[in-house]
Structure 1
């Protein structure tokens, strides 16, 4: 006998989503731009988060930062996020882009990110794991234990 009923859908692992590399500009001040490379990585095992690595033109990664996938998606068309990470569209012009602001105590970095390829890539991540399924596979007990008590509490 076949192990699956013919009308029961078989859940498969989502297809891996390739990383996206974009040329971005870090705004050092109002008139000075520093060209950089941003690599956006998506892991279907943790779909609510996109990891973004920022590298110099020579390829040395300086910072790797987890950013909410919904925040990135929302920031393509409106103000999104609060606190340490925010994103919003620039004024309309020839090349659509958004501002991505990363803040930490005593330091902030503002990046101009082209949005067309980022929007298409984010849509690919949502086809792999829809927004409504982002939190479905999360180990809530472990997550809350780590959030409230630190990483040692989750394994205790």
Structure 2
């Protein structure tokens, strides 16, 4: 096993890419960091999306669905717009990227170590290539859900 892959659990047949538990720093302000562990999950049935769960002290954790391409791009350049953005930190420090999550209820900035996330993303692309992300999508079901579910009027 390559030394950079030591953080990845061994693959199982039921889960082609195991979840990645990653220690991040949440920036509470310019000088205050709060260590937090996030869990990144990849589901082959929806490969364009990575779910990221942030634990809560009380109650259920906060789950964000983030585009796999956005995470991959944010390791090396500005990526995303709107509610989710990611970009590399300035050179000179430890290799990391900033992940900004915004909604009406929350705004959070996290420093994400790039090496383990990059290796994990590579593993997801070995399972489902970027070009094949949308191949298995049930477009009829997706559009039905988008337009109001199974009872929605059709043209």
For the aligned pair, the TM-score class normalised by the smaller chain equals 0.7 to 0.9
Q: Which residue of 1 aligns with 2:31?
A: 31
Q: Which residue of 2 aligns with 1:150?
A: 148
Structure 2 residue ranges without an equivalent (≥5): 1-12
Which structure has the larger Rg?
Answer: 1
State TM-score, norm by structure 1: 0.82
Q: Which residue of 1 aligns with 2:81?
A: 82
Q: Which residue of 2 aligns with 1:42?
A: 42
Give runs of ≥4 in structure 1 deviating > 6 Å.
none
- The RMSD of aligned alpha carbons is 2.2
Q: Which residue of 1 aligns with 2:3?
A: none
State TM-score, norm by structure 2: 0.83
Could you tell me how far 1:23 is from its partner in structure 2? 0.4
Task: Classify 1:130/1:70 alpha carbon distance in 2 versus 1 (closer, same or farther; 3 Å).
Answer: same
8 Å contact kept, 1:54–1:61: no
Q: Secondary structure of 1:46's partner?
A: coil
Count residues with an aligned counterpart. 141
Structure 1 residue ranges without an equivalent (≥5): 1-12
Task: Classify 1:92/1:73 alpha carbon distance in 2 versus 1 (closer, same or farther; 3 Å).
Answer: same
